[in-house]
Amino acid sequence: MMLDRSKIGHAFAPFTAEVEKGRLKFFAKAIGETNPIYLDEEIARKAGYRSLPAPPTFTSVLDQESTEFLPVLKLLDIDIATILHGNQEFEYFSTICAGDTIAVECRIVDIFDKKAGALEFVVMQSTYTNQNGQLAARATSTLVVRNP
- Which residues in this chain contact another protein in the complex, by CB under 8 A? 23, 26-27, 29-33, 35, 37-38, 47-49, 53, 55-57, 60-61, 63-65, 69-70, 80-92, 95
Element of type H or E holding 92: strand 83-92
Q: How far is the CB of 60 from another protein (least distance, A)?
A: 5
6 vs 48 by CB, closer to another protein: 48
Q: How far is the CB of 18 from another protein (least distance, A)?
A: 13
Instruction: Give the Cα separation of 105 and 128 in Å (integer).
Output: 7
80 vs 116 by CB, closer to another protein: 80
What count of Cα atoms within 13 Å lies in the side-chain half-sphere of residue 139? 20
Are the C-beta atoms of 95 and 59 separated by less than 8 Å? no
Are the C-beta atoms of 3 and 76 separated by less than 8 Å? yes
6 vs 77 by CB, closer to another protein: 77
Q: How far is the CB of 11 from another protein (least distance, A)?
A: 21
75 vs 83 by CB, closer to another protein: 83
CA torsion, points 19, 137, 54, 13, in degrees to nearest 10?
30
Q: How far is the CB of 20 from another protein (least distance, A)?
A: 12
